[in-house]
A and B are shown apart, each in its own frame.
Chain A
Amino acid sequence: MNYKMIGKFTSLILMAEALFMIPALIIGLCLGEKSAISFLISIGIIFAVAVPLWLIGRKTDRRFSARDGFICVGLGWFMMSLGGALPFFISEEIPHFVDALFETVSGFTTTGSSILPNPELLSRSILYWRSFTHWIGGMGVLVFLLAIVPLGGGNQGFTMHLLRAESPGPEVGKLMPKMRQTAAVLYSVYITITILDIVFLLFGKMPLFDAVCTAFGTVGTGGFGVKIDSLASYSPYIQTVTTVFMTLCGVNFSCYYLLLLRNFTSVLKDEELRLYLGLIIGSTALIAINIRHLFPWNEAIRHAAFQVSSIITTTGFATTDFDLWPSLSKAILFALMIVGACAGSTGGGLKCARALLLFKGLKRNVSQMLRPNKIKTVRVNERTVDEKILANTNAYFATYILILIISFVLVSIGNDFSTGTNFSAVVSCFNNIGPGFEAVGPTCNFASYGVFSKCVLIFDMLAGRLEIFPLIILFSPKAWTSK
């Protein structure tokens, strides 16, 4: 195992994080907030850890296996979460370190579950940092590093391991021949969408600070709001803009690249995109009909559309307390929580691509049961899917269910919440959504969970964002023994 390379990348991740803290620091200094000092101290601590790691990893060879890639990503995200929690903890705005860590992990993994009863009490710089963690975590910090850090000449095949480990989806590919260009394209699309979102929100007369923070929460599909009632008190225009941008960010980012190349047909024919949009439209219609007695027609459609896209993209904003809706609507939302957004987007969940593969694989199994000698390949987008990918998808789904069940049991230790609360809390954190149902519904928070339950949920959030394996591998003793 290449410890030096892992050290080098961990150090780079931490340095990037320190860099990302600077805007929050500037906001704190401009507004003369006390919390500015906590950012300065945090940056100092992060560098104190990062620089020795850098010195260790400076001279390293390029042997880098898939295992190293997984460990790099898992460990990098863990360290980054510890570092990101420092400002909350040092400024004493979140007095317990586990709470601060929960909030940070919830930010980086674009979950949006909070332990804060009222975010409006936080200082501006802390609030900004809280939202900005969504934006950093949305596209992934390693993708960012691959785009900007010169890794020198030579053969850089190893970067593929990093992209695979950090990017969501069953099949991760490059858009362009070089990793650097691919990462740069992803980030340019990401930045463009963010800026567009901010501009549209500003048109709706949203204050600049709110607009920036909301855009970070939307584009990263995170869900931290700056208000206690999430987006409920903003105008219908702002809610509609947010609905559209959430939906846009749940789409595979390579679709945007194809649009830039004017390759419209492949985007239109993309089966995953069709499934995703179909789910949104169908669910919105069903829910709107189901809740029509609670609101006037136009509001019912708006709330339904907002909530559906907020849940399927795993953002977790709310315009109304959907926990009060009829059971059918809640059941649909619950199902959408698990399906999640498209692969290669900033959203979480199981991913539409995997749902598609699982369904098609199941269909094949059934048809082969009836005619045992039939040979059939699974095809997506008119291409045959490799059997290895199908096997990986099945394995992923099995692991996913297993972790869900184990976490559900563990979270239930030492609290008196209902089964529904505990289960929805796990589903919500594991799929990086934010709110669940009942006691962790959109108007409530996770503060009342115990320390152990919070730790389990922290693990779930990281496992959900990194698609399980990079995190599991950190706990596997075999991964750490050198060959």
Chain B
Amino acid sequence: MKILVAGNGKVGETLVKQLSSEGYDITLIDSDTRVLEYELDKYDVMAVEGNCASMDTLRSADVQSADLLIATTGMDELNLLCCVTAHGMNPKLHTIARIRTPEYLEQAYSMRDTFGLSMSFNPERQAAREIERLIKYPGFLKRDSFARGQVEIVELRVDADSKLKDIALNSIHSIVKCQVLVCSVLRNGEAITPDGNFVLREGDRIFVTAPSKNLSTLLKNLGVVTKRAKKATLIGGGAVSYYLAQYLIDSRIDVTIIEENKDRCIQLASLLPKASVIHGDARDQHILDQENFDNSDAVVALTEMDELNIIVSLYARDRGVSQIITKLDKDSENRIIDNLPLGSVICPRKLCCNTIVRYVRAMKNQTGAATAIHSIADGSAEAMEFRVDASTLNCKTPLKSIKLKKNILVACISRGHETHIPNGDSSFEVGDTLLVISTANEVITQLNDIFE
């Protein structure tokens, strides 16, 4: 499948990395030669220099034979024009555009056909949605749901006072008293697929697969308090803050936004009359303390600067805030950052990259292609959802006698409304939904790829 990626910003690069490693033919369009050269040295892709909305550039990128165009330049207008033009040149083309200006969201949806858009995405809004989900159900660092919401993979951190500290995995059931599976452990930046004798240590981040109905039992038995959040403090007044504040206010949560730019403060105050907008520099701890920072149920660090977000989150942790969410744009896979207690880490570009990769895989529409995919453990592992169909091998064979590839784990089997964590005697049959965790280097695109 041929994919054109227009604009090589943060999202563009993440997409190129992921999609080229999955074997698609990628052509990258950008107006900056230096950026293109840098990408060419890193990935096996083709580069075309020029304005992505001009017919000439699109022609030299061979838009006529492309299957999908993803427009991710920094300008919404350019993205839309690019999609309209490309769609006009090749009516069969699927197009995805990044639309981040709130004012355009409506027409991007209702005038989709005019723009020739198959899908639009907004990294900031998606990040806000994700953060809202975390604030509404505190306790987990990250949640990914699968099998129509029946199964979730949640991320937990083993703290000094955690009940899970120094516990071997085969005795974990005596503590949590429900069906769960620890599918991956991130220790010192390295993802480990643990076995029963694996002993958890302080500082480990664990990824737990559990049927959704068991989540509250899990939290209760781990002693994590799940009280409803009433007050949230957002540091930084960017687009994510705006969307998030809207959602939180709708759910009757008090929102305080601290922003250092006065004009932006005035703008936010008029857009969000119910929020308290504070003009001040988040570097100044005095300002944070004045706003009863430590009384918040959640602190979300959303400034433009990753470094500042990290400092704010560390300070919040020091003051005993129970839920901390940190936005990191650049280096969310940095090993040093990994060891800091930053609470949940949100990376907007990764979130929307995952959405687009899902779209691409669905477009490929191969029998047995993954219906959902989430990268977990900071990208070292992938959780994929597959439907078992007639072409799937090894149906009705007990798992213990199936030879799976190395670093592959079948984490969950859902049949109808029943969901269970498999053991050696479990088997799957046609119609089931499987959740597969892979830490392997090679890309799994079809269910049958997991078998040896």
Contact = CB atoms under 8 A, between A and B. Distances in A.
Interface of A: 66, 152-161, 173-174, 176-181, 386
Contact of B43 (A156, A180, A181): A156
Nearest to A152: B442
Contact of B41 (A161, A174, A178): A161
Given A153-B443, A159-B44, A177 B21 contact: no
Contact of B27 (A152, A157, A158, A177): A177
Contacts of B441: 153-154
Given A153-B443, A155-B20, A155-B21, A177 B26 contact: yes
Contacts of B44: 155-157, 159-160, 177-180
Nearest to B42: A157
A59 to B, nearest CB: 12
Contacts of A157: 39-45
Given A153-B443, A161-B41, A176 B46 contact: yes
6 contacts: A153-B22, A155-B20, A157-B41, A157-B45, A173-B46, A179-B44
A152 B45 CA distance: 15
B379 to A, nearest CB: 13
Name A's interface SS: loop
A410 B47 CA distance: 43
A154 B25 contact: no
B65 to A, nearest CB: 10
Interface in B420-449: 441-443
Given A155-B44, A157-B40, A159-B44, 19 more contacts: A66-B41, A153-B22, A153-B23, A153-B441, A156-B44, A157-B39, A157-B44, A157-B45, A160-B41, A160-B44, A173-B47, A174-B46, A177-B2, A177-B25, A177-B26, A178-B44, A180-B44, A181-B25, A386-B33
Interface string B39-70: 11111111100000000000000000000000
Contacts of A158: 41
B231 interface: no
Interface in B227-280: none
A270 to B, nearest CB: 14
Interface in B4-56: 17, 20-23, 25-27, 33, 39-47
A354 B42 CA distance: 27
Contacts of B47: 173
A206 B40 CA distance: 46
A155 B25 contact: no
Contacts of A66: 41
B43 A155 contact: yes
Nearest to A65: B41
Nearest to B40: A160
B25 A176 contact: yes
A179 B44 CA distance: 6
Contacts of B2: 177
B67 to A, nearest CB: 12
Contact of B21 (A154, A180, A181, A386): A154
B21, B44, B47: residue with the most chain A Cβ atoms closer than 10 Å: B44
